[in-house]
Amino acid sequence: MSPVEAISSVFRNYVNFSGRAPRSEYWWFTLFAVISQTVLTFVPFLGMIYALALFLPSLAVAVRRLHDTNRTGWWMLLYMVPALGSTTLAIVLVAILGLGGGDLSFADEGEWEMVAIFLGILFVVGAIVTLVTVIVVIVFLILPGTQGPNRFGPDPLQQQATGGFGDYPDPGHPYTPTPPTGSSSVAPHDSGLPESSSEPAPEERQFCSQCGMRLQPEARFCTECGTAV
């Protein structure tokens, strides 16, 4: 997709979390979102509204991009790990301050050193986990999509190339079979002609199908075995 096609496609599928999105659609829109949000950051109120407006389409196209790699969109929950880590750190700090009722003199210098070491370890572990989860999701978003249909839908690259659903006929256009080539051809059926019968004409009946007895042209029964002919 071109940048304009990608951006318009994302906004047309504003809250569409089904189907698949190629890499060009996701990354062109991501570049557009980063640049536009950076510019509007200098307009506080408008920038906040714009960021909220881009949240759903950004999430939807990311889920469709994961679908293109045959992965569930629930992998996007890994982006919540940084928020959970920050929340956990804040809860620990509030709990420590709450022990002394807001008075920091309730612990001596050695105890505060232990608290600082604990918080430092918690921060480092949280930063490592956050970095790993973000890298995992970004790698998934970079990977090429599966070729052909997968459990989330048809291949979007085949759709773009054929104008339909991959190797399947476009539902918006009637299917027209390819005419036969070569010397052999099938004559169209003429409804005005009588239906042909597999039973030969009476004058063509010469032998009994059971015993092989030679029959008269006008015979209806075999004179040897009595079989109806």
Structure tokens at 37: 């949000």
pLDDT of residue 145: 92
More confidently predicted of 218 and 16:
16
Instruction: Encode pLDDT of 102-124 as tens digits.
Output: 555 555 666 667 777 877 887 88
Distance of CA 172 to the CA centre of its chain: 20
**pLDDT at 219 > cutoff 80:** no
Interatomic CA distance for residues 67 and 74, integer angstroms = 10
pLDDT tens digits for range 140-158: 999 999 998 999 989 888 8
Strand partners, 153: 150
**Model pTM?**
0.59
Q: Which residues pair with 168 in a beta bridge?
A: 165
Q: How does pLDDT run across 165-189, given as a tens digit for each residue? A: 433 334 344 434 445 444 444 444 4
β-partners of residue 165 are 168
Q: Please answer whether residues 40 and 82 qualify as being in contact, where contact means their C-beta atoms are separated by less than 8 angstroms.
A: no
Query: Angle CA(112)–CA(118)–CA(121) in degrees, nearest 5?
Result: 140
Residues 6+ apart with CB under 8 A from 227: 208, 209, 210, 211, 221
**Rounded Cα–Cα distance for residues 213 and 149 (Å):** 63
pLDDT tops 70 at residue 64: yes
Give the CA angle between residues 139, 122, 135 to the nearest 5°: 5
pLDDT of residue 28: 95
Q: Which residue has the tokens 């569930």?
A: 72
Q: Name the 3-class secondary structure at 76.
A: helix
The alpha carbon dihedral of 80, 85, 90, 92 has a sign of: positive
